[in-house]
Structure formats: C-alpha cells, structure tokens
Amino acid sequence: MTNEQEMILRELLWLRHGHSIGELYGDDGEMQCHNCMLDFKRDSVERIKERFDQIAFDRMCQAILEQKGELCLNNSNQLDSQKQV
C-alpha cells in the first residue's frame, strides 16, 4: 500500500467512523476526532485499533449497566405492586 493509499483510507475512516462533523477537526489537512481523542493523520494503525476496541468495550459495559438498571427498576416496580395487593 502506498502512502497516498494509506492517507485515503485514513481519511475515509476519520470521516465515517460514526462521529458527527461537530466532533471532527479537519482544518489545514488535520484529521482528528475530539470524541475518540484520535489523530487519524498521525496515530499508528495499532493505536487507532486499540482505541476503537476500548470504545467498543466501554459501550458494552455501559449497555450492561443500563440493562441492570432497568432490571432493578422492574424489580422494584414488582415489589411496589406486591405491596399494594
């Protein structure tokens, strides 16, 4: 892969990795995302992958925590309805 091809792929990844234009910084040829705290122009491929893996893991943990919260709410609602009976 040539450097030019790598830069095309980096730009596509920067623009299409799921964060909105407001979170991206692209002045003067920069390719950064404030949300991911990644520099798509300079960070190594390994660093970008590691950060994406970390973000995916954090999202999974958050989803589990939210699901547990819903379960707690459902359980407390059931307890409340049992009290009223």
As given in the structure block, the two tokens for residue 16 are 């299409």
Of residues 30 and 70, the one with the C-beta less far from Zn ion: 30
Which residues, 23 to 42, sit near Zn ion by CB under 5 A? 33, 35-36
DSSP, res 76: H
Rounded to a whole number of angstroms, the minimum distance from the CB of residue 23 to Zn ion is: 6
Centre a 10 Å sphere on the Cβ of residue 12 and count the other Cβ atoms it contains. 11
CA distances from 11 to 26, 48, 60, 67, 69 (A): 10, 13, 27, 35, 38
Q: Which stretch binds Zn ion (CB under 5 A): 17-25, 46-54, 59-67, 69-77?
A: 17-25
Centre a 10 Å sphere on the Cβ of residue 46 and count the other Cβ atoms it contains. 8
Q: Is 19 one of the binding residues for Zn ion (CB under 5 A)?
A: yes
Rounded to a whole number of angstroms, the minimum distance from the CB of residue 66 to Zn ion is: 21
- Footprint of Zn ion (CB under 5 A): 19, 33, 35-36
